[in-house]
Structures are given as C-alpha cells and as structure tokens.
Structure 1
Amino acid sequence: MKLLFLLLSIVSFNCLSHVSHHDETPKIAITKTVNNYLKGSVLGDSQMISKAFHSDALVQGNSNGKLQRYDMKTFLGFFSTDKPGKHTTKIISIDIENDAALVKAHWDMGTWMYIDYLTLIKNDGQWKIINKVYTKIQK
C-alpha cells in the first residue's frame, strides 16, 4: 500500500511539473501583456512597452479636438526612463473571444485621466496589442 501511494505521488508530481506558462489562461496571458504596457508607461521603459504591442500597431485618439495617429516608433518615443510617469494605471475590463480581445484600461494623471481601449490579437501563441484608441477626460 505504501508503495502504491509512493508511485501515485511520483506520477502526480511528474504530471504537474510539466504544466508551463504556455498553459496559462487567455485572461492571464492578456493581463501580462497589458501590464507590460501599463507598467512600462509608469517606468518610462519603451522596451517593456514594445513587448506588449504588435510592431504594426496604431495609437489613435483626439487631442484638442483633432484626431491624432501614431505608429509604434513615434508612440514609443514618448517614453523615457529619464522621465518616468507620475500616474497610476489599472485594467478595468477584459473581453475575450477566441483569438481576439478588448481591454479597457485607466490612467490616472491627477487632474485628468486617459481611458484606453486596447484591441489584442493572439498570433503565433502570443497576445499583442494591435490597436489603441484613447480618450482624455478632465476630472
């Protein structure tokens, strides 16, 4: 009986040890991707932010009543570790359907805030932000 228990324990442990980060749920994987962007924005770390975005992603929103569009190179240029952010961020909601997701995120800048709508696609096993639409709100 002890031998049977020992064998079952070894088999169970062996099965559990093969669980990897590739087995994580889509919600966890999407949260990690978006948090690379949000945390990177606070740190001013453009390399961390770039891990979250697809290289062809676009960033769009209204600024002073005019539509602004940025490619990734331009958008990443807004961040610098020499000037880390003084804002807080959080994920408000995540909606997932198959290999597409929509994330709503909040940036608190003090007297105003951004709301980001992030569209993500799962491609080659990785979730990436393919589009960001933002709006600025005065408090």
Structure 2
Amino acid sequence: MKIIILTALLFGLRPDSKAQINTAMNNTNMNSLAIKTTLEDYYFQGIYLGDVQRLEQAFYSDALLLGDVKGQPYFKRLAEYLDVVAHRQSPKDSSQPFHGEIIKISVINSIAVAEVKVKMYHYYYHEFLSFHHINGQWLIVNKMMTDTMDQA
C-alpha cells in the first residue's frame, strides 16, 4: 500500500486530479465558445453589416490593428478603423460576398489567439486576433492581418 501511495505522489496523482483536469477542460471549452460567439456575433457580423457598435463590443478600446493590405503596411488604432467602417459601404449593402471563418482558437488562462480568414469585396484576409479576458469578457486587444490571394 505504501508503494502505491508513494508512486501516486511521485507522479503527481491525487484522488481529485481527474476532476481538476475535467474542470480545466470545461473552462477551456467554455472560453473557446465565448470567443467563438464574439467572433461570429460581433466581429464577423460587425464587418459584414458595417455595424460599428457591434464591432466595439468585440474590441478592447485601445486595440491596435496591424499588417499589410495589397503589400502595403497597415496600422490603425481602433478608433481609426471604426471610422473607416462607419464611412464605407458594408459588404451587405453592396451585395458583395462576405465569408468569415474561424480556423483555430487557442486559450491559456486569460489570454487567447484566434486564427481567422475573412473574405470581403476582392480581399482575402488571414488574421491573428489576440484576446484578453477583461471584466468577464473576451475582447480583441490586437489584430494582425495580411491580404492573401488564396481563398478565405
């Protein structure tokens, strides 16, 4: 019996370790689902509809957006980006194709990264969105993007 207990202690096994693993997995799944909801209901829909208020709900107020579009450097603060969205015709209003796709979501504690693809107008964007859990919400704190020629 002593050998079993010592072996369990050496390998870090405790009677409640399975419960802790299940709780951690459930939390990760719940966080991934919350991020997926933010992406689908606020980020993708905000872009498609040109809905600035919806987009504001997805982003941290001081978020940065960086990358390149058609080979040119792209840098905007959230307020600048929202102003562009507010003054352009939305994909919905222009009857242009739009498609948002979640490739992967990775969550560790209070941070996460979502890899997504967005097709709108004649652009195909590959994006990495950094999230942080702030005041009970998963918010985009950084958007890195590049315009690619492959399909979203």
Q: What TM-score do the two structures reach when normalised by structure 1? A: 0.76
Stretches of structure 1 lacking an aligned partner (at least 5 in a row): 1-23
Verify the 8 A CA contact 2:129 2:140 in the aligned structure 1.
Answer: yes
Partner of 1:42: 48
Paired residue secondary structure (2:85) = coil
Does residue 1:29 correspond to 2:40, yes or no? Answer: no
The superposition leaves residues 25-67 of structure 1 with CA deviations (integer Å, 9 ceiling, x where unpaired) of 1011111112211111000101101100000100001234442
Letter in 2 for 1:103: A
Verify the 8 A CA contact 1:45 1:81 in the aligned structure 2.
Answer: no
Partner of 2:118: 107
**Matching of residues 100-139 of structure 1 within 5 Å:** 100-109=111-120, 111-139=122-150
Verify the 8 A CA contact 1:89 1:105 in the aligned structure 2.
Answer: yes
Letter in 1 for 2:85: F
- Identity in percent: 28
Verify the 8 A CA contact 2:70 2:147 in the aligned structure 1.
Answer: no
Does residue 1:57 correspond to 2:93, yes or no? Answer: no
Paired residue secondary structure (1:79) = helix
Stretches of structure 2 lacking an aligned partner (at least 5 in a row): 1-28
Count of residues in correspondence between the two structures: 116
Partner of 2:103: 92
Paired residue secondary structure (2:86) = coil
Verify the 8 A CA contact 1:43 1:81 in the aligned structure 2.
Answer: no
Deviation (angstroms), 1:77: 1.3
Aligned-pair Cα RMSD in Å: 1.9
Q: What TM-score do the two structures reach when normalised by structure 2? A: 0.69
